[in-house]
Each structure stands twice: as structure tokens, then as C-alpha cells.
Structure 1
Amino acid sequence: MRSLALLPEQSALLDRIPNPAALRGLPESDLQAVADAVRAEMIDAVSITGGHLGSGLGVVE
């Protein structure tokens, strides 16, 4: 099974985004990578703490 942990490049990408408004400054070509990184982060967090992630994943999609 593939690990869902963030890859270093995904973590670096998310570190460049200090707040939601900063997403508007990213090139459109980076948005799929941001969605992938956010999805991996959410799944990783929920796998540790438990809880629901359906609505959050819906927002990412």
C-alpha cells in the first residue's frame, strides 16, 4: 500500500502558502499540486487523530 504521508516537495509547497488568500498568487499550473498536498495532509492527520474527512475532501476537490 502506498504511503499517504506528505512528500518533501508537497510540504515545501504548502509552506509557501501562509493563508488562503495567497492561493490567488500561485500560478494555475500549481493548483493541482496544492490540492494533492492538502489532500495528503488531511488524510495523514485524520489517520492519526480519527474523525471525519469527507467534507474536507469535498472542498479540496
Structure 2
Amino acid sequence: MSPVSTPLLDRVRTPADLRNFSPEQLRQLADELRAETIDAVSVTGGHLGSSLGVVELTVAIHAIFDTPRDRLLWDVGHQAYPHKILTGRRERIRTLRQGGGLSGFTRRAESEYDPFGAAHS
């Protein structure tokens, strides 16, 4: 699969960057984040449906709350792929579930944005 065009997502380094976007830009960002998630999981494999189901929720939470000061807990780690992309791990997202790569779940040792280690449902 070829990389998708993600002009807004390319500007996101931390969730704080989302707070400068308009509502229309946040909708576009959600579309770009969805495409990036699909592209990444097509490379690594993984649980795609649960992550796609929370794309808009993930964007909204990070745009409104002051993460990581406001702690965000995912009840099932498979929902966290979009969260990982928005919290500084986009460059490594294609190492998801690979040896030495990103965890398929939230992992406290991986990011200050993961205050709780979630696992399989």
C-alpha cells in the first residue's frame, strides 16, 4: 500500500498541536488518521476494527483534554493505535507488534501518554 497524503497529520508532533486546529481541520485530521492507521496495520497486521472505531473519539479527547497531564486510559489496548500515532509514535507505527517495535497495547514504558498498561479484552 502506498503512503497516503496527510498534510494535517504531518503537522502533529504532540496532542497539543490539535488544539490549534479548527473543527473542520479536526474532521480532516480524523480522516487522515484513519488512512494512516489502515496503512500501518496493512504492513504490520493487528486489530484494525477497534482502532478505526475510536478515531474521532481519539482526536476529540486529545484536542480537548491536556494530555498527558489529563490521564487517558484505554480499556482495550487494540483501540490505541490512533492514540499512538498522535502521541509522538507515528514514525514507529509500522513497527507495531514487531520485535523491538511498538507494543500492540498501551505501555507505560513506551510513552508518558500511556499512564496505564492495557492488554487484550
Task: Give the alignment's TM-score, normalised by structure 1.
Answer: 0.75
Which ranges of structure 2 fall in alignment gaps of 5 or more residues?
Answer: 57-121
| Poorly superposed stretches of 4+, deviation over 4 Å | none
Identity in percent: 55
- How far residue 35 of structure 1 moved from its aligned partner, in angstroms, is 0.5
Equivalent positions of 1:32-43 (< 5 A) are 32-43=27-38
* Structure having greater relative contact order (Cα 8 Å, sep ≥ 6): 1
Give aligned pairs, total: 56
RMSD: 1.8
2:19 partner letter: R
Task: Give the alignment's TM-score, normalised by structure 2.
Answer: 0.41
Structure with more of its chain in helix, by fraction? 1
1:25 aligns with 2:20: yes
Q: Structure 1 residues 37-46 or 22-31, which shifts more?
A: 22-31
What whole-Å deviation, never above 9, does each CA across 1:33-59 have from its counterpart, x for those lacking one? 100100000000111111102221122
Structure label with greater radius of gyration:
2
Correspondent of 2:55 among 46, 56, 60: 60
Which ranges of structure 1 fall in alignment gaps of 5 or more residues?
Answer: none
